[in-house]
Amino acid sequence: MNIIQTPIADLLVIEPKVWKDNRGYFYESYNAKLLGDAGVDVAFVQDNQSFSQKGTLRGLHAQKAPFAQGKLVRVIQGRVLDVAVDIRKSSPTYGQHFSIELSGENHKQLWVPPGFLHGFLTLEDNTIFTYKVSNYYDKDAEIGAMWNDADLNINWSEEIALTDLLLSDKDQVLPAFKNLESPF
């Protein structure tokens, strides 16, 4: 397992070692010791999974304490553009984002610690996205920012027209990033 530090502190890309042969492939998708050695000492309490069609955008979301969540995210089938935004007020990268393509083919994962907004855009139909979380969901702890906020300037996709995105009602009315009062 190769663990790579991104340009934003504590946000990590995990590249598992994949063994392929004529039967298919095998890889270790989670290893507590290796992640712990990389500074991710976390107990996961829940696994979540979503199934989405091409053009579905989910985000940008986080939860505030005492329900703040770290997320270990990956794609089982399909492809996504995965985005994490640093909302740690004391961080030198506050307001900056990191994006990466995660797919069922590249097997990459992203560790998104508490203190980040998170979202993703599905780039293929029938995409299965899964994530381990370090805390339980609580509706009253939800915070977020608008996916297309000009201050964040996220380049979501060259492949999908932004006018064709599928968004939840909740994600269409999230506040501007400058109006987000980060609890981190």
User: Which residue has tokens 């999908």?
Assistant: 160
Q: How far is 76 from 49, CA to CA, in rounded Å?
A: 10
Distance of CA 81 to the CA centre of its chain: 9
- The sign of the torsion formed by the CA atoms of 95, 180, 54, 104 equals positive
Look up 61 and say whether it is catalytic. yes
Helix (H) or strand (E) holding 36: helix 32-37
- The sign of the torsion formed by the CA atoms of 113, 182, 95, 106 equals positive
* 25, 27, 131, 136: the active-site residue: 131
- The DSSP call for residue 174 is P
Look up 131 and say whether it is catalytic. yes
* 30, 61, 97, 137: the active-site residue: 61
- Bridge partners of residue 58, in order along the sequence: 120
- Bridge partners of residue 100, in order along the sequence: 82
Indicate which residues carry an active-site annotation. 61, 131
